[in-house]
Amino acid sequence: MKKPYKNTEFSLTRKCDKCHKPMKMNLLHKISKAELCYRCFYPLDMLRRGVRVASVGASSVEYAIMVTGVAAAIVAAVTLFGGQVKSLFDLAATIVSLPH
């Protein structure tokens, strides 16, 4: 995603009121009394306008669902293939233990 600004120099004096990170210099040139950085202002502005803002990242609930799915897949694989793998290792142990 292309950023709406080009200047990457940060202000050493002004910080965002919400995230406390230094603000971009070109933001301060455009809006001298800016209190929020671009990242904090955009979602609040969209909310104020009534536009629904899509969440950007996964939440902890989504990660928990993924972990549960992976755990279920592991349990299913062990249940389905556990006996076959055991017999394969037993066969390998028998072959190794045979005298030459």
For the segment 7-13, the average pLDDT, to the nearest whole number, is 57
CB neighbours (10 Å) of residue 23? Answer: 22
Residue 19 has a pLDDT of 78
**How does pLDDT run across 22-70, given as a tens digit for each residue?**
766 666 556 666 777 767 777 667 777 777 656 666 688 889 999 999 9
Residue 57 has a pLDDT of 65
Contact 25/5 with Cβ under 8 angstroms?
no
> Is 0.95 topped by the overall pTM?
no
Q: Hey, what's the torsion of the CAs at 68, 71, 76, 81, to 10 degrees?
A: 170
